[in-house]
Amino acid sequence: MKDDIVALLPDLRAFARFMCRDREAADDLVQNTILAALDKHEQFTPGTNLKGWLFTIMRNRFYSDLRTQRRRPQTIDDEATPQILAVDNPEATLALKELSVELWKLSPQAREALVLVGAGGFSYEEAASLCGCSVGTLKARVSRARKHLSEKLQ
């Protein structure tokens, strides 16, 4: 199980950075997620979706932490933006930065749904399960997020 968790670290880090908007907070979230998973490893059923289980733990920890903290202004950590922004083409770099800015303007639920389905490789059913909502609700969130991005980036 530990080797499987290590293999999923890049996916966990990417999702945490999208959730937190801050590199240090994202790294803390990943660490706390791994510690919680190792502490509760007996609750995981071997042969089931480890990635989904870890993302659920991470999501729950993120929202739990968010509820206990006072809201403070959020800034986008340039280091937390995807590494794909390191492109030699200045126009592509600008377009990707604009995408990143618009992505952060989405509601946390819409951003989460879009990232899980679009970048995380989860099916709608898996993402809905992770988000604790119906498949229809998740599809609506993804659709609204895509529409927002499409309108703003044309």
Output the average pLDDT for the chain.
Answer: 84
Residue 143: pLDDT band with limits 50, 70, 90: very high
pLDDT average, residue stretch 66-90: 57
Q: Domain range holding 150?
A: 86-154
Looking at the fold, whether 51 and 8 belong to one and the same domain comes out as yes
Residues 92 and 136 in one domain: yes
**98 with 141, same domain?**
yes
Q: Please, where are the H alpha helices in the chain?
A: 2-20, 23-39, 50-68, 90-105, 108-114, 124-131, 135-152
Evaluate if residue 4 carries a pLDDT over 80.
yes
The more confidently predicted of residues 49 and 96 is: 49
How many domains does one find in the chain? 2
Give the whole-angstrom CA distance, residue 1 versus residue 146: 35
Q: Name the nearest CA neighbour of 59 among 25, 16, 28.
A: 16
**Which percentage of the chain shows pLDDT scores above 70?**
88
pLDDT at position 88 is 67
Rg of the chain in Å (alpha carbons): 16
**Per-residue pLDDT, 20:** 85
